[in-house]
Amino acid sequence: MKQDKLIISKKRFNSRLIVGTGKYKSMLECAKAIKISGAEIVTVAVRRVNITNKKKPLLMDFIDPKRITYLPNTAGCFNSNEALRTLRLAREIGGWKLVKLEVLGDKKNLFPEMIETLNSTEILTKEGFKVMVYCNDDPLMAKRLENAGAEAIMPLAAPIGSGLGILNKVNIKIIRNQTKLPLIIDAGLGQASDATIAMELGCDGVLVNTAIAKAKKPFEMAKAFRNAVIAGRQSFLSGRIEKRVMGSPSSPNKGII
């Protein structure tokens, strides 16, 4: 396991858990939860999290960008123009080129608007961005994003913030089998076991925000997700037994008295 690293844009990470920085009661609580989670990448909603106004608490004062990789995202963007403007601003502010693209289609369900997402991916990659893309769990669209130059595919497990867990394991498995890109489950996880399932499906990592930030005990939940991702990855690498319709005795029949 020591040699088993998550590699994104040629950078190696020990942790396969990515954590969001929104929805916490305070930046202090956010920073502590992230530390406990062991995450080495955090998503930052450029339009919502303060990273520029020095008169107010800055995220950088609580989470050191020299130690934790910031992943600027376009949360709250509902068209390509808004998303492109947001990520270009992020590049100007902090020089960030590794980004998370998220173009939403509606304000109620927060599903990704895939046509705008695909178009934005093509534009951003041509501008030199390394784009990790939030998308639906459609294998055909995932392949198009890969062909467009995406750095990682990030299909939803369920609607953002819903906590429903992985609703379509079959499609996630198909996407896993067809791509060599990092596959990160994004959105909809509700508890630690959801992360274990994602890892056992062969995903390279999971992104969690609401499940930790809004838990009754966020620090304990951060620890639970940390352990769940490790356990799920170990289980996947170990190779599960074949599923059988009939039972099979645990003890050998040979030598029975």
Any idea where the domains of the chain sit in the sequence?
Answer: 6-237
Catalytic residue numbers read: 100
Question: Using the 8-state DSSP alphabet, how is residue 95 labeled?
Answer: -
User: What is the predicted pLDDT for the residue at 16?
Assistant: 96
In angstroms, the CA 107 to CA 200 distance is 32
pLDDT band, very low/low/confident/very high, at 221 (cuts 50, 70, 90)? very high
In angstroms, the CA 227 to CA 223 distance is 6
**Fold type of domain 6-237:** TIM Barrel (3.20.20)
pLDDT band, very low/low/confident/very high, at 251 (cuts 50, 70, 90)? low
The whole-model pTM stands at 0.88
Q: Is the pLDDT of residue 187 over 70?
A: yes
In tens, the pLDDT along 222-248 reads 999 999 999 999 999 999 888 888 777
CB 236 within 8 A of CB 200: yes
State which amino acid sits at residue 37. S
User: What is the predicted pLDDT for the residue at 137?
Assistant: 94
Q: Is the pLDDT of residue 1 over 60?
A: no
In tens, the pLDDT along 197-215 reads 999 999 999 999 999 999 9
